[in-house]
Structure 1
Amino acid sequence: MGNTNKLAQLSEAGVSVWLDDLSRERLRSGNLAELIRDKHVVGVTTNPTIFANALSKGESYDEQIRELAARDADVHAAVRELTTSDVREAADLFRDIYTATNGLDGRVSIEVDPGLARDTDKTVAEAEELWKTVDRPNIFVKIPATEQGLPAITRTLADGISVNVTLIFSVERYRAVIEAFFDGLEQAKANGHDLSKIQSVASFFVSRVDTEVDKRLEAIGGEEALALRGEAAIANARLAYAAYEELFAGERWAALKAAGANPQRPLWASTGVKNPDYSDTRYVDELVVAGTVNTMPEKTLEAVADHANIQGDTVTGTAERAQQVFDRLVAVGIDLDDVFRTLEDEGVEKFDKSWAELLDTVRGQLDSAKARN
């Protein structure tokens, strides 16, 4: 019992605990139901890498693969059916939480094809397609916050579709995401949608910032630079939260709120710790604030349950200190704009690569199923 108390404390502090993973194996074995029951998990996020991993191992997809092969489905259609089946099943599993939290939690995210990240129109078309195909009110369609993604976010929200904005690295881009969210809700209202039914989260990536900045600090060397290792990511997230507080205290939001809108919650993503020298719960412990989401890989979830240090709100009022960290990073020669650009490009590329792997895996599975038939 003792260990789930930490996750209970996190939930009580107003942080929604989501799992950053999904597979048919998890669904069929009852593992996901167990995490919901015992580990305070109230949502799930997926991405192309997660699906590529799930589909490359285990036999739980075999039957559906055989069926798709028999129908002579092409690989893109097969991937769409395999992934949306899992998301639909997970959405049904979370339906009670969705109802109990009035649509806030009990959410499952599915990402648009990352190859479309730089194409606004195709992203919008794919988002609508996914929304219709899964056909569950408690999903989020994930759209990357690239420059071309911003108008796609607006247009998708304007159609009354709930959106998880992903791959946000800089505070500047995050502000643009909030503006795109406001635009989308204003248009949704003009289009006659019930704003209270639309939800959105903004996934701000954490650990990858430290990975990139630490590498650069080590290349710079010297006491001052090395003393800043492990400081950038949490400072960046805290500055993002300050931007959230500022923009959601403004008049544009007040008008939307009066019309029944829900705020776009900040979501801390990429919270698995990459550096073994750091505490494996730091991106949870240091980012506790009400009205946010933390989506964690299972390893991080278990670490949090076991030994997190939940001290209540660790974010509100930290912006000034976080800004000082940024000023010191710039002073030792870190080009933060370049860091964020690099991370966004890498993020899109990584998901693209995983998507290609996913297509390859499924293509191979379809071929061998056809050969056996």
Structure 2
Amino acid sequence: MAKHKFEIHPSFKLNGTHFSRMHLHKVAYSFIKEGQPFEERVGNFLLDWLNEDYDDIKVRTSGSTGEPKEFFIDKQKMVNSALATGKHFKVKEETKALMCLPPKHIGGMMMLVRAMTLGWHIDVVKPSSNPLDQLYKTYDFCSMTPFQLDNSLNRLHLIKKLIVGGGHISENLKQMVQGIPTKVYETFGMTETISHFALARKVNSKKSNINEPKPFKTLPNISVASDENDRLIIKAPKILDEPLLTNDIVEIVTYKKFYWKGRADNVINSGGIKIHPEEVEKKLQKIITQRFFLSSMPDDALGEKVVLFVELPFSEEAISDLSKAIDNMSELTKYEKPKKIYLVEKFEETPNGKVNRKRTVSAKMK
């Protein structure tokens, strides 16, 4: 049996209307019976949240760093996460918020939890690559993926504060948001940490050099460490039952700050040299504008060799031009330079639109 009844903040509004706890039940049923597919998912989440028989919510990982998995998160921990976000960004009751993320994943769920907990006025729109396309009102707060941000630049002035998660913001995209009045923050998190637990400095800050790497800084009551293999350990008593060891390779600055270097499961060992694909990809973003990633293949001499996958229709000319451009990059070591380039017309993706590296490589190699 449930131990808590999670109250709805009296200032909470959904799509412009105040709802009590009882009326929110009715709205959820209406979404399920009469709404679009995304509204049906919103309705299902609201019913789960309002259900006093259970203290937890079933969530599902995206599958971008492994096979998708399901597990349960305590509702109180979701409330704690919402409170930490509210405190950090100074977003209080009556904040005008836009939810444009899929409600079946933790990012979308937490926008609803923040709204109900903090008393936001939240509008829910259909998740799409360009969620601002048909909107004309301004919002104080929103959360997007890098892909959505990339497609929303022309109308980004409608958002005052934007957190970006679900993937890292490319160097090219960081350049494109310079001069835009919206305060854009890159976040770091995962389903297990109930969305973001750390943030980088504002990526379009006038005070910092865009080319200067920025460490992630944890939210209140969260600290970080690393194990002997430089894997990130997250300590967050209010949202985690115990410290969480991740597969992220980091450089710890302080117990509150760290630099992200890449994923342990993506590390390439080429000729005894450990290469973090994500770090090399940052360098390659200067010359490649399409989606791309580095992977590896067995090599008799090196053990593993670096290979490059680019989302482009096949063209010998494109491969030749790209090879020449990469060869001329002085910032790449000989081990980091791809030994082979593959052009793929369409990358394999996870259910929420992230590039599935392993499946893309497997499909190309068949």
Task: Name the TM-score, length of structure 2 as normaliser.
Answer: 0.34
Q: Which structure carries more relative contact order (alpha carbon 8 Å, separation 6+)?
A: 1
Structure with the higher fraction of residues in strand conformation: 2
Greater helix share, structure number: 1
